[in-house]
């Protein structure tokens, strides 16, 4: 039977697209080579956050005396933490499987390869093949860890994020190559759990999408947590040493080396187009992604692509939103994604979250703006939590008073950011936030106070 749409890849881009298409009455086939949920659910967002929770509990235990506890010691059983992580992942994956089934999506296990603009050949693990026909095809095959090619990357103990998520025993020390969001998240988790971490990064600053002032303040917190960050480092080679591994590099002042029991390669992601036969049928792409137009259609009419495989902001919520948007377009509903209002979160200690323009970007665009900052140290809820580090920084247009950017370093930043996302997406003004009563005592009061500060009306600063 011909499908209305064939989707290759069951990550947060592909499976959300499949459900949306089914909601719109389409006959859908979803082809998945590995496990439904993709990188995000199986090797990314969810397992990292399950381990982040273990790390957070460790931090809480370490400061339990401040809260009136006297503990006679405690021990981390990493295999138990891993078991809990696997349970969370399995529970969520079972839920997604049920949603797909409930919506009537036909899930086909195997690797999809394009035959023409209406046909996909699926090969399963045993080598059996079947041909699936459809009116449209959506490519949502995601990304894989980028392999750097320096000598020594294949040595035992040199791992990617995939293996780092499965560690049943933590190394005493770890060198993380890459200081992007994922590198900093792993550094925060591992350091909290007792591994001595050194992050080395080629570019002069870490966490490229985040406001510079927020990064400067985050660096103070990271130093307190205990991991080292070295920027401007060009990796030459990884070699074995008596204590494990050594990363030989060229630093700002000459040769430098970094020792660790293990080395984690976290220097970005490469698009996953392996075996898709893009060249065979003329779908244009380069190393940064499959080329698409504003409706996510590739150079071959009727074949669309979304998510990590088209590059850009490689985030699960971007993949899912693109999945919904492309399906709605195919079925005649036009919506558009505002890429200027995509929230980015870093699950470090403290958390970092950001939406809209950074101060640097606002200046670059020549917009006259006002900035206000409110420190969590002056927020009652943050102090009761014992988490008074950090701030909320607001950037607003000086003339229109619209909120342009929100940058948060502090407790639950990844949840708090959505008030900022609502403001930036909908062009809300400072007055809109000021007239919205915020409950007391909450962390969200810091957001309102920071906005009040833009207008010179803050009460608690």
List beta partners, residue 283: none
Q: Alpha-carbon distance 182 to 316, whole Å? A: 13
| Of the residues 5, 33, 96, 207, which one makes contact with ligand FAD according to CB under 6 A | 33
Residue 171 sits in the site that holds ligand FAD (CB under 6 A):
no
Residue 112 sits in the site that holds ligand FAD (CB under 6 A):
yes
| Of the residues 6, 7, 10, 401, which one makes contact with ligand FAD according to CB under 6 A | 10
Which residue, 13 or 405, is less far from ligand FAD as judged by CB?
13
Pick the catalytic residue from 118, 412, 440, 460: 440
Which residue, 182 or 429, is less far from ligand FAD as judged by CB?
182
Which residue, 22 or 33, is less far from ligand FAD as judged by CB?
33
CB of 143 to ligand FAD, least distance (A): 5
Residue 159 sits in the site that holds ligand FAD (CB under 6 A):
no
Residue 321 sits in the site that holds ligand FAD (CB under 6 A):
no
| Of the residues 4, 211, 297, 308, which one makes contact with ligand FAD according to CB under 6 A | 308
Task: Let me know the angle formed at the C-alpha of 237 by 231 and 240, rounded to the nearest 5 degrees.
Answer: 115
Concerning whether 118 is annotated as a catalytic residue, the answer is no
CB of 304 to ligand FAD, least distance (A): 13
Residue 44 sits in the site that holds ligand FAD (CB under 6 A):
yes
Residue 175 sits in the site that holds ligand FAD (CB under 6 A):
no
CB of 208 to ligand FAD, least distance (A): 15
Name the residue with the smallest CB distance to ligand FAD.
Answer: 142
CB of 93 to ligand FAD, least distance (A): 11
Beta-carbon contacts of residue 279 (< 8 Å; ≥ 6 apart): none
Q: Could you say which residues in the range 120-149 bind ligand FAD, by CB under 6 A? A: 140-143
In this structure, which long-range contacts are made by residues 362-367, counting pairs with CB atoms below 8 Å and at least 24 apart in sequence? 362/395, 362/404, 362/405, 367/397, 367/404
Both tokens of 201, joined, read 């990064």
Residue 260 sits in the site that holds ligand FAD (CB under 6 A):
no
Q: Alpha-carbon distance 295 to 332, whole Å? A: 11
Annotated active-site positions, please? 440
What residue ranges bind ligand FAD (CB under 6 A)?
8-14, 31-34, 38-40, 43-45, 48, 111-112, 140-143, 161, 182, 272, 275-276, 307-309, 314-317, 319
């Amino acid at each position: 039977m011909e499908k209305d749409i064939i989707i290759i890849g069951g990550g947060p881009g592909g499976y959300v697209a499949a459900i949306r298409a089914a909601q719109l009455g389409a006959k859908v086939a979803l082809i998945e080579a590995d496990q439904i949920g993709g990188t995000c659910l199986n090797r990314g967002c969810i397992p990292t956050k399950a381990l982040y929770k273990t790390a957070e509990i460790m931090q809480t235990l370490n400061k339990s005396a401040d809260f009136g506890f006297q503990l006679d010691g405690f021990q981390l059983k990493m295999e138990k933490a891993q078991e809990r992580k696997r349970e969370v992942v399995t529970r969520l994956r079972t839920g997604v499987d049920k949603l797909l089934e409930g919506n009537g999506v036909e899930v086909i296990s195997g690797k999809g390869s394009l035959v023409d603009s209406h046909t996909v050949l699926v090969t399963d693990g045993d080598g059996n093949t079947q041909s699936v026909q459809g009116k449209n095809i959506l490519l949502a095959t995601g990304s894989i860890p980028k392999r750097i090619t320096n000598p020594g990357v294949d040595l035992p103990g040199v791992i990617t994020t995939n293996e780092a998520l499965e560690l049943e025993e933590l190394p005493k020390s770890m060198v993380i190559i890459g200081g992007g969001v994922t590198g900093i998240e792993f550094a925060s988790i591992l350091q909290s759990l007792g591994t001595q971490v050194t992050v080395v990064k080629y570019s002069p600053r870490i966490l490229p999408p985040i406001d510079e002032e927020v990064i400067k303040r985050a660096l103070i917190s990271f130093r307190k947590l205990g991991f080292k960050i070295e920027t401007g480092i060009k990796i030459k080679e990884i070699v074995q040493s008596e204590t494990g591994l050594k990363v030989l590099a060229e630093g700002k002042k000459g040769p430098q080396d970094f020792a660790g029991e293990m080395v984690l390669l976290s220097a970005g992601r490469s698009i996953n187009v392996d075996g898709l036969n893009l060249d065979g049928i003329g779908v244009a792409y380069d190393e940064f992604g499959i080329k698409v137009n504003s409706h996510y259609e590739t150079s071959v009419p009727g074949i669309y692509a979304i998510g990590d495989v088209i590059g850009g902001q490689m985030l699960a919520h971007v993949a899912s939103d693109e999945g919904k948007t492309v399906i709605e377009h195919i079925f005649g509903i036009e919506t558009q994604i505002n890429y200027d209002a995509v929230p980015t979160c870093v699950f470090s200690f403290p958390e970092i979250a950001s939406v809209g323009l950074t101060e640097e970007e606002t200046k670059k665009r020549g917009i006259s703006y006002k900035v206000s900052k409110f420190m969590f140290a002056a927020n009652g809820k943050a102090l009761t939590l014992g988490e008074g580090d950090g701030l909320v920084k607001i950037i607003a247009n000086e003339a229109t008073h619209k909120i342009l950017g929100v940058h948060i370093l502090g407790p639950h930043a990844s949840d708090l950011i959505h008030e900022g996302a609502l403001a930036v997406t909908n062009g809300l003004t400072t007055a809109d936030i000021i007239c919205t009563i915020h409950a007391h005592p909450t962390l969200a009061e810091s957001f309102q106070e920071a906005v009040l500060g833009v207008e010179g009306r803050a009460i608690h600063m």
